[in-house]
Structure 1
Amino acid sequence: MHAVEAAALIYRRELSNPPSIDDLARRVGLNRNSLSEAFRERFGETPASFSRRMRLEWAREQLNARTGRVSEIAMACGYTSHAAFSRSFLEQFGKPPSKTKSA
């Protein structure tokens, strides 16, 4: 497995408390710049954008499955503020989390 794939897997496994880019780079044996470049080449986005997208996609799955309240799901994917989660979700998917859950 390539280092960037290992890093992506770490992000997916640690949604609620994603590692910093420096920590992630250390864990996969790259420096910060090399990891960022590898993410842009492989996924077309920065490590931070990838992590955010993975967290929000997981949250959308949970909302669609109706597994909990919006605030609980926000906290489970690493957001400490319901408002910040709602803004990020709206920006990513074009509708607020409350509309996703009721759909």
Structure 2
Amino acid sequence: MTSSETPAAPTSRTLPPEALDEWLAALAAELGVDPSLVPTATILDVARDVAHDVARPAAPLSTYLVGLAAAQRAADGEDLAAAVRDAAEQTSALAGRWADRGQE
């Protein structure tokens, strides 16, 4: 690179909040999923709780497991939205207990 060239600004990998719905709609379409089935606030709450109380890398893995658990329960006849809420509550509760175990 010569002195007259300026390096390109690094591309931000952070999605602005206003683009989140657009991204989720595009991904849902790509994956063949109804975007209305994505409880965004619930999943983000779980990710926050796990990242804060357990570890940041545990957040995406935990939300994936919430989805798997809910899908399994829905396949067994449970309402999907209720299964997601329940799995999310269980996950957040475990994360809180996980954080508390170091304070004993």
TM-score interval w.r.t. the shorter chain? 0.3 to 0.5
Larger Rg: 2
Instruction: Report the TM-score, using the length of structure 1 for normalisation.
Output: 0.33
TM-score (structure 2 length as normaliser):
0.33
